[in-house]
Amino acid sequence: MDVEVTSQALAAMRLAARSAHPREACGMLLGEGGRIIEARTTANVHPAPETHFEIDPQALVDAHRAARRGGLQVIGYFHSHPTGDPVPSITDRAMAAGDGRVWAIIAGEQVRLWKDGGSDADAGFTALSYVVTER
């Protein structure tokens, strides 16, 4: 099954990655019904942003509050690999929440989607295919 991603969300992720380079960009994937409508860039608050990312916790809290009030749901997260491939790194695997959410990883202009392994910690990440839609 393909995940639907708007062209605007893909463009926003690519722009965030270019703008943050050589640091890692990061943010949230927002949508409804598993469809990714928006990629919202957040501050990378990790002390070593050249090689790691940490989404601003207040941005996450705000997004979840907005979702509870009827806004877009937090479908997942995105970050860039400025000098790597768009695949989960050893660090990504170690830091994954195991919550089954979608991760988008950007390297250059490539964007790949992954599903966090869910409750099975040994499952790791599973590659997802996606189709681009307009809004």
Domain boundaries, the chain: 3-133
Please, which contacts does 88-91 make with residues 24 or more away whose CB atoms are closer than 8 Å? 88/114, 88/124, 88/125, 91/51, 91/52
pLDDT at 118 over 80: no
pLDDT of residue 123: 62
- With pLDDT > 70 as the criterion, what percentage of the chain qualifies? 95
- Is there a contact between 103 and 88 (Cβ–Cβ < 8 Å)? yes
What's the confidence (pLDDT) of residue 135?
76
Residue 87 pLDDT exceeds 70 = yes
Higher pLDDT, 96 or 35: 35
Average pLDDT over residues 1-6: 90
More confident residue, 98 or 129: 129
d(CA 67, CA 79): 21
Predicted confidence at residue 98, as pLDDT, reads: 86
**Within 10 A of 2 (CB to CB), how many other CB atoms are there?**
10
Structural domain 3-133, CATH architecture? 3-Layer(aba) Sandwich (3.40)
- Could you report the per-residue pLDDT of 16-69, keeping only the tens digit for each? 999 999 999 999 999 998 899 999 999 999 999 999 999 999 999 999 999 999
Other CB atoms within 10 Å distance of the CB of residue 47:
7
- pLDDT band of residue 97 (cuts 50, 70, 90) is confident
Q: Name the residues annotated as catalytic.
A: 24
Check residue 119 and give its pLDDT.
52
